[in-house]
Amino acid sequence: MQITGARKSFGGTEVLKGVDLTVAQGRTTAIVGASGSGKTTLLRLIAGFEAPDAGSVSLDGVEVAGPSGWLPAHKRSVGYVAQDGALFPHLSVGQNIAFGLPLRGRAAASRVAELLEMVSMEPSYAKRKPSELSGGQQQRVALARALARQPELMLLDEPFSALDAGLRVATRRAVSKTLSDAGVTTILVTHDQAEALSFADQVAVMRDGRLAQIGSPFVVYTRPSDRATAEFLGDAVILEAWMEGSLALCSLGGIPVRRPPVQGRVHLMLRPEQIRISEGGKIRGHVVDTDYFGPETTVRIQLAPIAVDPLHPADPHQPVGGEVINIRHWNAMLARPGTELSLKVVGEGVVFPWDG
């Protein structure tokens, strides 16, 4: 699937501002962004529910929207699962799945049973009504219905957002396995950063109608393209630093940076899990407060001020310390408010140009 230069406006407001995106066959891409960023509009262009004002959409090398014309949604080999599943409440599960299939009788029942098994549900569920199913089961039925026509591309529009936390994770894993086993190219739209990172081979971060960054989950999380992307994709520790060569000098010491884009004054980004409590660590700080989440605790630490020798005036670029940062730790008892801790940093940092 390929999108080139896609633009779309509604009522004079430009929602998509020249989007380019390629999804390889059999792979999964998550488009993640805040509400109003344009991600659902982009999905609707791919599905054929909207036509682009400019640019093109191609499926399997064939242009389905663009200068050459526009192919309506029902003629595209695309499956679509909405946030609420959009099942017909008056039809049984089997009738929902078989809706639109050219098969009838035993052939249809056999295909429905096959599809239910694909989404890890017993064929006996075919006789039930959607109201008799849990939210996760309803989404699996919606997926089975979308798979019935054997689409080349599957579009998932925030399909897990209405489920509670535990059910959301289990349903997401089941759906991911089903689509992977079927070899279906998939695009997921979500505002949930963790969902995007865990579900997809490729993550596209959308902001203000544009794709701010496209890459593997590991790359976009550990090497975000800018500060806004870094902070959107997860908790980030942002510190003032001075870039000298390949080291960012800050209150946490000299942090290595791979291919820094600038020298001099910068913003340094680290993820909280890179900052560890360590006996004998050279960095000192005291615990301000904590948030306990069971398996891990977020610990807010105020870094100790960095002492300056009065006989040797400090370099104006020397960090002064005193910042409050967040780290994560498994042992809540070790990080009580007021406790002084020693810290160390593991891994590399990322720097962004200074913007004041």
- CATH number of the domain at 198, please: 3.40.50.300
Please tell me whether residues 198 and 279 are part of one structural domain.
Answer: no
Q: Which of 222, 249, 282 is the last residue of a domain?
A: 222
pLDDT of residue 300: 96
Per-residue pLDDT of 45-94, as tens digits, reads 999 999 999 999 999 999 999 998 899 998 999 999 887 768 889 999 99
> How many angstroms separate the CA atoms of 87 and 93, rounded?
8
Q: How confident is the model at residue 143 (pLDDT cuts 50, 70, 90)?
A: confident
pLDDT of residue 54: 97
Please tell me whether residues 163 and 205 are part of one structural domain.
Answer: yes
Per-residue pLDDT of 275-319, as tens digits, reads 999 988 889 999 999 999 988 999 999 999 887 656 555 566 778
Please tell me whether residues 156 and 270 are part of one structural domain.
Answer: no
Q: Which of 196, 222, 248 is the last residue of a domain?
A: 222
Please tell me whether residues 87 and 177 are part of one structural domain.
Answer: yes
Phi and psi (nearest 5°) for 343? -130, 160
Domain membership of residue 44 (yes or no) is yes
Domain around 111 = 2-222
Please name the residue that has the structure tokens 């977020």: 298
Please tell me whether residues 153 and 250 are part of one structural domain.
Answer: no
Domain membership of residue 71 (yes or no) is yes
Please tell me whether residues 205 and 295 are part of one structural domain.
Answer: no
Nearest CA to 84 out of 25, 133, 29 is that of: 133
Please tell me whether residues 175 and 69 are part of one structural domain.
Answer: yes
pLDDT of residue 83: 79
Q: Total structural domains in the chain? A: 2
pLDDT of residue 356: 65
> Taking the CA of residue 338 as centre, how many other CA atoms within 13 Å lie in the half-sphere pointing to its CB?
0
Nearest CA to 302 out of 317, 278, 315, 320 is that of: 320
Domain membership of residue 227 (yes or no) is no
The tokens of 244 are what? 């000298």
Domain membership of residue 208 (yes or no) is yes
Per-residue pLDDT of 197-253, as tens digits, reads 999 999 999 999 999 999 999 999 999 999 999 999 999 999 999 999 999 999 999
Please tell me whether residues 257 and 213 are part of one structural domain.
Answer: no
Of all residues in the chain, the percent with pLDDT exceeding 90 is 66
Whole-prediction pTM: 0.88
Of all residues in the chain, the percent with pLDDT exceeding 70 is 97
Mean pLDDT value of segment 1-13:
96
Domain membership of residue 255 (yes or no) is yes
Domain membership of residue 231 (yes or no) is no
> How many angstroms separate the CA atoms of 342 and 356, rounded?
30
> Taking the CA of residue 130 as centre, how many other CA atoms within 13 Å lie in the half-sphere pointing to its CB?
18
Q: Among 166-170, 237-241, 339-343, which stretch is predicted with the lowest mean pLDDT?
A: 166-170
Domain membership of residue 39 (yes or no) is yes
Phi and psi (nearest 5°) for 319? -65, 150
Please tell me whether residues 177 and 288 are part of one structural domain.
Answer: no
Please tell me whether residues 160 and 196 are part of one structural domain.
Answer: yes
Per-residue pLDDT of 252-268, as tens digits, reads 999 999 989 999 999 99
Please tell me whether residues 91 and 211 are part of one structural domain.
Answer: yes
Q: Which of 163, 197, 222 is the last residue of a domain?
A: 222
Q: In what order do the strands lie in the sheet with 62-66?
A: 13-22, 2-10, 54-59, 62-66, 69-70
Please tell me whether residues 25 and 130 are part of one structural domain.
Answer: yes
CB atoms within 10 A of CB 20: 14
Domain membership of residue 229 (yes or no) is no
